[in-house]
């Protein structure tokens, strides 16, 4: 007699693992994140010093300084050379990618609320088996375990909003219209420092995410995110 679980899995293979909206927004976000990361590194290289408060420059004490050379000769780094200045195009692409990922995130959030995606797929459901790290079988591939759900909830509902908030708090045009958005953070330099650490958490999440995808079956997981099928 056939195993009921196997029958359920076989019957469920006709339904996509990921909806078209989730797949499209996932890959747009991925491309935007790569662009934001590369351009963000170029922006940091122009001034690898971080401060706390409203103001900060080479004449004020830094909270911490990255041990890397700068692309501006006016920034003291201890190195005897200056890197090529790529600050112009990197800022332009950084802002363009940021607005694209914000719009993509809004679309994903609205759709997730109306379709029940957050409730069904992301809200943690703690069961003993879901805490285990192991190679997943096909039945497991159709749902996230509780650790994955917690990680996605943290990134989607905490880290991404924090990145957007601190990014806007560094914009003079935005903060002039909404000064409270930066004052509650402690100032524009504080927003920049928080933005930097939030980026580090996102990079860490990305490395763990890719590592877990590899362990669970890289080809099948990527195929599911492209075609929707497990």
- Between 94 and 136, where is the model more confident? 94
- The band of 230, judged by pLDDT with boundaries at 50, 70 and 90, is low
Whether 21 maps to a domain, the answer reads yes
Whether 143 maps to a domain, the answer reads no
Whether 139 maps to a domain, the answer reads no
Whether 162 maps to a domain, the answer reads yes
CATH number at residue 57: 1.20.950.20
- The band of 122, judged by pLDDT with boundaries at 50, 70 and 90, is confident
- Between 140 and 153, where is the model more confident? 153
DSSP 113-180: HHHTHIIIIIS----GGGG------TTGGGS--HHHHHHHHHIIIIIHHHHHHHHHHT-HHHHHH-TH
Does 23 score more than 80 pLDDT? yes
Question: If you average pLDDT over residues 10-26, what whole number do you get?
Answer: 73
Q: What is the pLDDT of residues 171-186, one digit of tens each?
A: 988 999 999 999 999 9
Q: How far apart are CA 136 and CA 221, in angstroms?
A: 11
Whether 172 maps to a domain, the answer reads yes
Whether 138 maps to a domain, the answer reads no
Number of domains in the chain: 1
Question: If you average pLDDT over residues 42-70, what whole number do you get?
Answer: 95
pTM: 0.83
Whether 69 maps to a domain, the answer reads yes
Q: What is the pLDDT of residues 193-214, one digit of tens each?
A: 999 999 999 999 999 989 888 8
| Structure tokens belonging to residue 27 | 């890959």
Q: Taking all residues of the chain, what is their mean pLDDT, rounded to a whole number? A: 85
Per-residue confidence (pLDDT) for residue 112, from 0 to 100? 87
Whether 137 maps to a domain, the answer reads no
Which domain range does residue 127 map to?
A: 16-132+149-227
């Amino acid at each position: 007699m056939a195993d009921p679980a196997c029958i359920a899995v076989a019957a469920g293979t006709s339904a996509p693992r990921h909806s078209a909206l989730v797949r499209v927004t996932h890959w747009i976000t991925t491309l935007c994140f790569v662009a934001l990361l590369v351009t963000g590194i170029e922006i940091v290289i122009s001034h690898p010093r971080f401060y706390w408060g409203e103001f900060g420059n080479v004449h004020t004490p830094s909270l911490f300084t990255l041990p890397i050379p700068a692309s501006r000769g006016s920034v003291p780094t201890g190195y005897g050379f200056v890197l090529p200045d790529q600050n112009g195009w990197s800022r332009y692409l950084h802002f363009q990618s940021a607005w694209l990922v914000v719009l993509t995130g809004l679309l994903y959030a609205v759709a997730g609320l109306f379709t029940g995606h957050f409730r069904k797929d992301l809200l943690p459901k703690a069961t003993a088996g879901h805490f285990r790290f192991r190679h997943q079988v096909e039945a497991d591939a159709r749902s996230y375990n509780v650790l994955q759900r917690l990680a996605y909830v943290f990134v989607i509902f905490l880290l991404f909003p924090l990145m957007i908030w601190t990014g806007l708090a560094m914009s003079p045009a935005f903060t002039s219209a909404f000064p409270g958005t930066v004052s509650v953070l402690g100032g524009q330099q504080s927003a920049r420092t928080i933005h930097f650490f939030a980026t580090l958490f996102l990079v860490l999440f990305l490395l763990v995410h890719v590592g877990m995808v590899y362990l669970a079956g890289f080809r099948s997981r990527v195929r599911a995110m492209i075609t929707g099928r497990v």
